[in-house]
Structure 1
Amino acid sequence: MEKEMIRRYVRGEASFEERKLVTDWAASDPQHFKELEQERRLYLALTWHLPEVKTSVADTSAPRGRLISWRRVARIALQAAAVIVVGCLVGTLLYTRRIDALAEQTLAIQTPAGQRMNTTLADGTQVWLNSRARIEYPVLFGRNERRVKVSGEMMFDVTKDPNHPFIVETYACDIEVLGTKFNVVADEANNRFSTALLRGEVRITSRIDGQQILMKPDDVVSLEEGKLRLSHIDDPDEYLWTEGYINLKNKNFYDLVEEFGQVFGVWIEVQGHIEGADRRYKWGKIRIADGVDDALEILQASYRFTYTRNIETNEIVIR
């Protein structure tokens, strides 16, 4: 990717086609995204200062031995003060417009199947994206709120700023936070939404009927038949995916096969009856970095099945 095109993108000068090229390039590889972030931060660093306001004041020096009237001094001082005030107002206006312009520019990240990614937003908020998750966010947050749009599963550790609420927009609900850590699942294709609060306080607002729930730590809110339901976190290890693990506790064969497909980015088909498939694990976890074959071998220790894998089509058939 050409550096000049990337720079045009972060400056907001790229065409629609160029913006699409840059966002697709950044989403294709974590290293590409890091390069884009570096350019963005460099641009912000260079443009963050107010423009200099150059003023000129008429020469007030007087010939030697001649006294300057206090009235003239006062008039010159007032004129200089007026120029400074106008300059500050112009500088502030330009600064505000620059923030608004940057707030209208958006970046998008989508993690490829089978991969995870983490990033830091402009306000210092940490975001971890699970496989196939997507987030859209502005280059610089606006003056009133910090708003992002997400789909898939991700974890947020939000920088506290009471004057600028952080809002996560999903297909089903808006999540409003001040400073907190929480996990969100927003899977519109399967009509699956949930939020688990690990720290802080958030307010969930349904985009369906306006229903609101104020969450406390260890609360879970899920969407069931169009309504929000409040429950509690049964097992904190369920959110170990940010550390590279799949939690086995309380999951049966079919739960894990579905999760393997999502996490490892493969299509898994189950053919026939699997004996004891409804049995649930009491404990255990699988390291994602070991791959799908290792995960299936661990399942074979508890359930009787065989499988074949087609590398070319990225499909697995379990019998």
Structure 2
Amino acid sequence: MKSTDVLKYLEGNCSEQEKRRMADWLDASPEHVREFNEIRFVFETTKMYGPELERLAAGETPQRATTAAASSRPTVMRMVFRRVLRVAAVVALLLGVGYSTYVYTFDSVAEQMVALNVPAGQRIEVTLSDGTRVWLNSGSRLEYPSVFGRHRREVKLTGEAMFEVTHDAGHPFVVETFASDVEVLGTKFNVEADAETGSFSTTLLEGRVRLTDPATHRAIVLEPNDEARLTEGRISVERNADLDAVCWTEGLISIRGLSFEELMRKFEKAYNVRIDIRRREMPVIGFKSGKIRISDGVDHALRVLQHNSDFRFEHDVRSNVITIY
């Protein structure tokens, strides 16, 4: 794998095919991981110490420090600088640019934010620069930096997503939502956050996550199979949560625990249609549990519900509107 390909990956400019190729390359050999980490070290260090490395590279003498800690900093910086140069010299040569350009390029990349919007009727999987995998459901939006900062890995979510976070104890992973920030203490979890409807939930599959109750500001730590849900402005936790809630990643919709109106809202996003309910009373879903395959189409899904629910529907294909009677 070329160093330029690794840099392209770290900058977040890879295609899905290139990301898969990078993952396969890393899995193939521990030596590849070591090489990747060396280049990532340069990448992160130039963001952290870019201006100081520039001055050292130019041969400038740091100003005299007034404390012992400050006086030791030039020595530490020179140690960092020597290690960076060993790798950066090769990388800069491959890039065909000077070290100054190299530093300022990383600084600008670190400030760039990427916004990923998933159209209704689609689902997207994306791998972030740290290796974290994210599955985004229909109608969701994820905002994330091209390169994570040196303290925290932060993303913003509107909608629903499942995260499989790459462990890095020194750089906590935080998902910001309208209701609560979800700080990752483990690996795999699902988040649904819709500010328009006021619905928020987090389902933990593996590891641990920490939330903050917006009403009491109390920290809440979830264990595997826990589900946190926002109800009347407060977060409550349910043990042994229904893990069918994350079956959307497999192209399925779970009907367990949903009202007819809630299910129709899910249908609108999953099938990219508008559903107009023209009834005074909502139909009762006759099934207590079950899953509907999205690929079978919205008409099939509604006909399945009709087996145990009293309603009629008309689908105007040209306007893409379904009317429920």
When normalised by structure 2's length, the TM-score is: 0.69
Quick one: structure 1 residues 318 and 36, their matched pair in 2 at CA, closer, same or farther if it must change by over 3 Å? farther
Larger mean Cα displacement after TM superposition, 133-142 or 263-272:
263-272
Of 127, 131, 143 in structure 1, the residue corresponding to residue 134 of structure 2 is 127
Contact 1:161 1:179 in 2 (8 A): no
1:301 to 2:307 alignment: yes
Quick one: structure 1 residues 290 and 177, their matched pair in 2 at CA, closer, same or farther if it must change by over 3 Å? same
Of 130, 139, 162 in structure 2, the residue corresponding to residue 155 of structure 1 is 162
Deviation at residue 253 of structure 1 after TM alignment: 3.2
Deviation at residue 287 of structure 1 after TM alignment: 0.7
- CA distance in structure 1 between the aligned counterparts of 2:179 and 2:300, rounded to whole angstroms: 35
Deviation at residue 198 of structure 1 after TM alignment: 1.0
Deviation at residue 222 of structure 1 after TM alignment: 1.5
- CA distance in structure 2 between the aligned counterparts of 1:226 and 1:218, rounded to whole angstroms: 22
Deviations 1:274-304 (A, max 9, x none): 78x2244133211111111111111122223
Quick one: structure 1 residues 237 and 188, their matched pair in 2 at CA, closer, same or farther if it must change by over 3 Å? same
Deviation at residue 180 of structure 1 after TM alignment: 1.4
Contact 1:136 1:148 in 2 (8 A): yes
Deviations 1:167-220 (A, max 9, x none): 001111111113311111110011111111111111102456533211111111
Deviation at residue 159 of structure 1 after TM alignment: 0.8
1:311 maps to: 317
1:193 to 2:187 alignment: no
1:225 to 2:232 alignment: yes
Quick one: structure 1 residues 272 and 225, their matched pair in 2 at CA, closer, same or farther if it must change by over 3 Å? closer
Aligned residue pairs total 266
- CA distance in structure 2 between the aligned counterparts of 1:85 and 1:110, rounded to whole angstroms: 43
Unpaired runs of at least 5, structure 2: 1-9, 24-35, 47-52, 59-74, 89-98
- CA distance in structure 2 between the aligned counterparts of 1:86 and 1:165, rounded to whole angstroms: 24
2:5 maps to: none
Contact 1:181 1:198 in 2 (8 A): yes
Deviation at residue 234 of structure 1 after TM alignment: 3.6
1:278 to 2:278 alignment: no
Larger mean Cα displacement after TM superposition, 87-96 or 128-137:
87-96
After superposition, the CA RMSD in angstroms is: 4.2
Of 217, 223, 238 in structure 2, the residue corresponding to residue 216 of structure 1 is 223
Larger mean Cα displacement after TM superposition, 180-189 or 265-274:
265-274
Deviation at residue 166 of structure 1 after TM alignment: 0.2
Structure 2 counterpart SS, 1:136: strand
Deviation at residue 245 of structure 1 after TM alignment: 0.4
Of 85, 88, 94 in structure 1, the residue corresponding to residue 82 of structure 2 is 88
Deviation at residue 249 of structure 1 after TM alignment: 3.0
Deviation at residue 157 of structure 1 after TM alignment: 0.7
Structure of higher CA gyration radius: 1
Quick one: structure 1 residues 173 and 152, their matched pair in 2 at CA, closer, same or farther if it must change by over 3 Å? same
Q: What pairs with 1:51-90 in structure 2 (closer than 5 Å)? A: 88=82
When normalised by structure 1's length, the TM-score is: 0.70
1:104 to 2:111 alignment: yes
- CA distance in structure 2 between the aligned counterparts of 1:184 and 1:250, rounded to whole angstroms: 17
Contact 1:174 1:206 in 2 (8 A): no
Deviation at residue 233 of structure 1 after TM alignment: 4.0
1:58 maps to: none
Structure 2 counterpart SS, 1:296: helix
Deviation at residue 125 of structure 1 after TM alignment: 0.7
- CA distance in structure 1 between the aligned counterparts of 2:213 and 2:280, rounded to whole angstroms: 39
1:264 maps to: 271
Quick one: structure 1 residues 251 and 311, their matched pair in 2 at CA, closer, same or farther if it must change by over 3 Å? same
- CA distance in structure 1 between the aligned counterparts of 2:122 and 2:81, rounded to whole angstroms: 51
- CA distance in structure 1 between the aligned counterparts of 2:105 and 2:168, rounded to whole angstroms: 21
1:70 maps to: none
Contact 1:252 1:281 in 2 (8 A): no
| Identical aligned residues as a percent | 41
Contact 1:113 1:265 in 2 (8 A): yes
2:121 maps to: 114
Contact 1:150 1:169 in 2 (8 A): yes
Contact 1:196 1:233 in 2 (8 A): no
2:254 maps to: 247
- CA distance in structure 2 between the aligned counterparts of 1:54 and 1:199, rounded to whole angstroms: 46
Of 176, 179, 182 in structure 1, the residue corresponding to residue 186 of structure 2 is 179
Deviation at residue 150 of structure 1 after TM alignment: 0.7
1:146 maps to: 153
Structure 2 counterpart SS, 1:190: coil
